[in-house]
Every structure is written in structure tokens, then in C-alpha cells.
Chain A
Amino acid sequence: MPMKWILPGMIFMLSFVVFPALYNSYVSFTNWSTGHILTKTQAIKILEDRVYTPEDQKGVEFDMYILQDSNLDFYYVANLDTNNILFGKAVVDDEIFTSSYATHEPSLFVNNEFITPDGYYLLSGKEQIANSTSLQDLSLIIDKNTRIQLYKISVFGASSGRLSSTSQLYTYDEVNDAIFNNASKISCPVVKDNFECEGKEIEPGWRVFVGGDNYRKLFSSQRVRGPLGVVTKWTFQFAFFSVLLCFAVGLFLSMILNKDDMKFKKIYRAVFILPYAIPAFVSVLVWKGLLNPDYGVINTWLGPIYELLDIEPVKWLKTKESARSAVLLVNTWLGFPYMFLITTGALQSIPRELIEAAKVDGASGVQSFWRITFPLLMVSISPLLIGSFAFNFNNFTLIFLLSGGGPPIIGSEVAVGWTDILISFTYKLAISGGRGNLFGLASSVTIIIFFIVLLISAISFRYTKRLERIYGNI
């Protein structure tokens, strides 16, 4: 019976956390990417829907009028004869099977004069020439096999169109696992994840299992391995220095305020917590404004210093060094309150007598800090420091919203910048890099992150007795 209590919640965890993690591993072994999104069956269906017009099927000529509506879509009117006046939207080949057929509209002609219908604009011959590249690819569909295309543009009077019947361009040949091009009479065999006609890949391809290709690419392709190395190294540096800086500032402040009869202590504490209370995505964007090299306050403040030293103002976030410093500065602002809070708590729990006793034995303030306070502090704080390291290791919001990972690393095969950490690098590969969606490759980077997080957790379990605590609680 306990399942009725547990299952409702666990279903969501299994479906949207555990399953995606497994699915992610699967994707990392496929070529899933732009141009290879579909399954093979879907790709064949799309290819079999493609049509072409055989040369001998091009027929009679007649007057054509070309209209545009407010969405700038093109419409054709074909005047075959007084009984056959066809009107409809002109579409490209890929839309043929989803668009509706042309309709008979005799009312468009009054006394053999064309009347432009309301809501449409009639293109002049010159405008048709200006749009000729788009118009070339458009057809007015009459029925499954017949359509009308623009044949000749005329600057004086009506342009002319031609009727043509179409045939299926590709036929799938199951026996040979190839598609046959009916126009050029060539058989195009499967090459890995595409059909290939005389060495030319036919889009779209489909997704296939590619084994370790993505991992091989990460580690052997020079123009991917280089950036991956840079990003991995920086991810560790970024997480390490973020924790170090936040911890140093937080501990320093809590030490300063750890004085019994000091005034305004409560006010200071309240203020130090503020940066932590604000959602990170807001403060990061505000900092981005403050750091703006042209209008931001930071450069206004530093103006006198720049003048004194006679140097160019720092182009914050635009160069490698300034971007990396800025990311760390902002993360210190975001993270020191947390460290301040936990070190304040930990300091208060260290027995006073220990420090007093050390003082009696003649230890200086510095000595008693490094010999007594700090070691005791680390016992309770170190699991939290490791947790903070793991959090910053994947601190996507900060990096992505502050620097966008930039400035870009020039010459890399994939979109990547100097402040990109592994998770933002993955995001660019998969979603927003502007070089297509490399889902397979991105997933393989995610697997690397998985293993690093696993390693961090193992270290945390090993050195902080967390596992024993967990076992104790089970």
C-alpha cells in the first residue's frame, strides 16, 4: 500500500528527471541535429511528396495577374478562357500538399477587364521583375497533378502563365534501400544518414545511431577540442574562484561583526543579506547595465582613474580579461551573503572558551584564528563549500545573462566564448549558437558534466561524512 503515497510524486521525478537523463545518454550516441531531426520514415515521406514538371508536360499559355495581400503573400489569377478563371494562393513546392486548390472566380473579370479584388494589390510588370526570384518558385495548384506557373513577365499588359502537370520526383525503392530520382533517372543510395544522388546529399536526412562519433569529435577534432578545453578549464576556475571570493568576503565580514558590543550590527547584517534576496536574473541584468562600457556607472566612476593613469577605459564584457573579471565580480556580489550567513552561524557555534584558553596560553589573534577558529569552521562549512562549487559549476543564469558566454573565441568550429562554462557551451551547441541545433554533440558534453558532478558529489561524500548522515537518516 505505500505505493499510493509515493507513486504520484515519483512518477513525475521518473518521467521528467530520470528518464530525460537516460534519454540524454541515448541522444549523445546519435547524429540528432539540424537536417537530421526526423526519423527515416518521416524523411522518406517528405521526399516522396516532392514533385517536378517533366519538360513535355508544359502546356498552353494564357494571361496571368499577380496579386499580393497585406501579409505580402502572392496570389495568382489565371485567365484560361471565359469559363475558366482560376484564383488562389501561390505556394512553394513544399506546401503543395497542404494548400487548397485554386477556385473559379469569374467575377474577377467584368467585360474582359480585370478587377482587382478588395484587400489585394495588383503587381505591375516592373514589380513582378523585382520579385521574380520568389515568383519563379511559386505555383497555383489546380489539382493533385496540375498546376500553373508564371512563364513570361510582361511590362506592357498581362504576363503569361503556363499549365503544367507534375509527377512525383522521388520514389522509394525498398529492395535497394534507395530513392529513385524520376527526373534524372538516377538511383540515390543511402550513405549513412542521407540519400546521396551522385555524391550530393539530399535534404532532409534522418537521425541514426552513430556510436561514439560525438565523443570522438569532442576529443579529436582540433577545432572542437580546443574550445572544449578552454571552456572546461574556465568552468573549474570560475567555480573555484567564485567560491573562494565569496567565502573570503563572507568570512571576513562575519569575523568583523563577531564582536559582542558592536553597534549597528543588526543593520549591517540585514544589508549584507539583501543581494541574496533578489532573484539572480534581475541583479545580473542590472549589473550588466552598470558595467556597460559606454553609459555604465562603473566606467563613469573609474573615469578619473583612467585619466590619471592615461589609459583607455576598460571595455567591460568585450574583452576576455574584462569579461572574466566582471563575471567573478558580479558572482561575488551575488554569493557573499550566503557565505556571510553560514560563517556567522558557524562562528557563533564555536565555543568561546577555546579561544579564551588559547589567549591565556599566549596565542596571538592571528594564531588562534588559523589554529583554532578556521579548522573548526571548515568542519561544518566544507560540505557547503563543495555544494556551492557544484552550484557555480552549472551557474547558467549568471554567465548567460551577464556575458552570454562572450566575447567569442575566434576560429572555433562551434559557437563559443571566453566566459562560457560547460553548461552554457552546451546550450549554444543545442539551442542558440546560430549554427544549427547540434543536439547529439551537445548531449555528449552534458554527459561529461554529469560525470564531473558525480565526481564532486563523491568527493563531498568521502570527505564530509554526508553519506553517514544520510544512512543515519534512512
Chain B
Amino acid sequence: METFKLLKWFKEYGWRHFIALIFVTFAIYPILFVATNSVADFANLTNSKLIPDGFTLKHYKLLSSNPLVPYYKWLFNTYKVAFIAAVFNVFLGTLAAYAFSRLQFKGRRASLLTLVIVQMFPSFLAFVAIYLLFFQISDVAPFMGLGTHLGLILVYLGGSIGFNSWLIKGFMDTISPSLDEAAKVDGATEYQIFAKIIAPLARPILIVIFVITFIGIYSDYILAAIFLKDKNLWTVAVGINTVFIDDFNADWGVIAASSVIAATPIAALFIFFQKQITGGLTAGSVKG
């Protein structure tokens, strides 16, 4: 009787758990492996194991002590560039979205359609032209040319602003027009309606779009790689690639530590906003 019950359970649920557990292993193994190795004593790749023998923070300390690998500087650069670009991105995107959603003007449809068409092409596709363009800008305005953070920020700004305006506009369309009409009757100006009514109501989507843009820029490799030549200006994505190449086996502990630091805050941010990021915005397929 007991075996029969067990068999029934397996037929109904057990096999599901079995397969789910296989994929749980697949999904989580690399993550756990790196996390434990980053605090393991004697972690070179050859003798690394999932559950390490000793606990140490030395790999994290080593990351800050090697002047040839200014890891924390890269981390700071990445946060700086991604934060500035994302803030301006959302700000300028919101302004444009307000006009598209609330103001009637000639060429509105045409400009909206242009936005959609331009956003079909990932901005990095034209990286050769971007490279040559900024190569020449370096001659006239070195402060924003190739190899500068400002230049890189400008490129990131242009890259996703159209898409973001489109998403924000979609959200603003759902805010009832009766609100701003009432305000207009009371004598509110265009600017006041934007600043006091529409923008505050759109705040949830603005936060989500800020997070998406921030993560997107943080994870970019190709543009940062062609833009930044000076080691001290690199972002994490560019720098970490060189750490990995140096000596895979011997530096494994340090490599693991650098991975944990680069990934944890972003993963936490993503998981916190996961519902909003994947829920409302799947149409845009931001990642994957």
C-alpha cells in the first residue's frame, strides 16, 4: 500500500521535483561555485571545489592592492557612467514622452514612428562609425572625444532615449486626461501640469526605466571596450575581462571575488524589480 502511494506521488509530483532539481543544479551551480571560491583558502582553479575547506577574505583584499588591476576604480567608473547616463536618459525621456502624450503638434505621428524604427537597431551596430566620429571629435574637443567618460555617456544617452520615451509615453497615456484638463481650467501652465501632475504620477515607471537603463549600461561591453583605452578609466566589464585572461588557474580566487563584487548589487537590483522589469515591459525584451 505504501509503495503504491509513493508510486502515485511520483507519477503526479515526484518526477516534476526530480527534473526541477536537475535544472536547479544547472542554474545555481556556477553561481554557488564562484561565491564559495571567492572566500576559499588556496583557491586556484585546479584544486577548487564547491564546498571549500577554509574561509578567507584575502581575495577581496588582493583586489585593492594590485596597482596593475585597479578593480575598485573600474567599479567606481562603471557606477558613475551608468548613473549619470541613466539619470539624464530618464529625465530627457520623460520630457519627450510628456510632449508625445499630452501635446498636439504637427509631425507627432511621424516622429513617434521614427522613434520606433530607430529603436529596432541596437545602437552599437554602428560602432565603427561611432569610433571614427569620436576619433575626430578628439581633435576639436578632447574633453569629450575617444577615451573619455563624457563621450561614452553621450553615446549611452543617445542609445536608449528613444525606446525609453516610447515606454514612458505609453504609461502616461494611461493617466486620465481629466486630471490635467481640470488643472488647465484652474490656470496651470504646461510646465506645472508636467511637474506637479504627470511626472509624479509616472514615478513608478520612471524608477523601473531608470533601473533597466542602469543595468543595461552597467553590462555593456562593446561600446566601453572601443571607447576606453586608459586602464584607469575602464569600466568593470572591460577590466574584468583582462583579469580573467591574465592567469586563469593561479588567480582563480581573485577572479571569483571580482565576479561576486561585479554581480551581486546588479543581481539584487534586478531581483527586487523583477516583476516590473519582466512584467510590463516584456514587449521591449530588454535582455535575452
Contact = CB atoms under 8 A, between A and B. Distances in A.
Interface of A: 1-2, 5-6, 8-10, 12-21, 23-24, 27, 32, 246, 249, 252-253, 256-257, 259, 262-264, 268, 271-283, 285-290, 292, 294-297, 333-335, 337-339, 341-342, 345, 383-384, 387-388, 391, 394, 396-397, 400-401, 423, 426-427, 430-431, 439, 442-443, 446, 449-450, 453-454, 457, 470, 473-474
A332 B184 CA distance: 53
Contacts of A268: 20, 24
Contact of A281 (B159, B240, B279, B283): B240
Pick from A32, A278, A383 the residue with the most CB of B within 10 Å.
Answer: A278
17 contacts: A8-B96, A13-B118, A17-B126, A17-B162, A256-B16, A263-B17, A268-B24, A286-B256, A289-B248, A289-B252, A295-B44, A295-B45, A383-B283, A384-B285, A401-B221, A474-B109, A474-B113
B36 interface: no
B45 A388 contact: no
Interface string B4-44: 00000000010011011001101110110110000000001
A279 B92 contact: no
B237 interface: yes
A277 B218 CA distance: 13
A277 B270 contact: yes
A16 B159 contact: yes
B82 to A, nearest CB: 11
Majority-rule SS of A interface residues: helix
B221 A281 contact: yes
A192 B111 CA distance: 42
A249 B288 CA distance: 14
B262 interface: yes
Given A278-B31, A338-B288, A454-B120, A273 B157 contact: no
A426 B165 CA distance: 30
B244 interface: yes
B222 interface: yes
Nearest to B250: A295
B129 A443 contact: yes
A273 B190 contact: no
Given A8-B96, A17-B162, 9 more contacts: A1-B103, A9-B96, A17-B118, A27-B132, A279-B218, A281-B240, A285-B241, A290-B30, A337-B27
Looking at chain B, what size class is its interface with the partner chain?
Answer: 35 or more
B95 interface: yes
Nearest to A449: B125
B197 interface: no
Majority-rule SS of B interface residues: helix
A215 to B, nearest CB: 15
Given A271-B28, A289-B252, A12 B125 contact: no
A21 to B, nearest CB: 5
Given A6-B95, A279-B266, A23 B288 contact: no
Interface string B256-288: 100100110011001100100011001111011
A272 B30 CA distance: 13
A297 B33 CA distance: 10
Nearest to B100: A6
A274 B45 contact: no
Contacts of B77: none
A310 to B, nearest CB: 23
Pick from A2, A342, A470 the residue with the most CB of B within 10 Å.
Answer: A2
A273 B128 CA distance: 35
Contacts of B169: 473
Given A268-B20, A396-B124, A443-B128, A285 B244 contact: yes
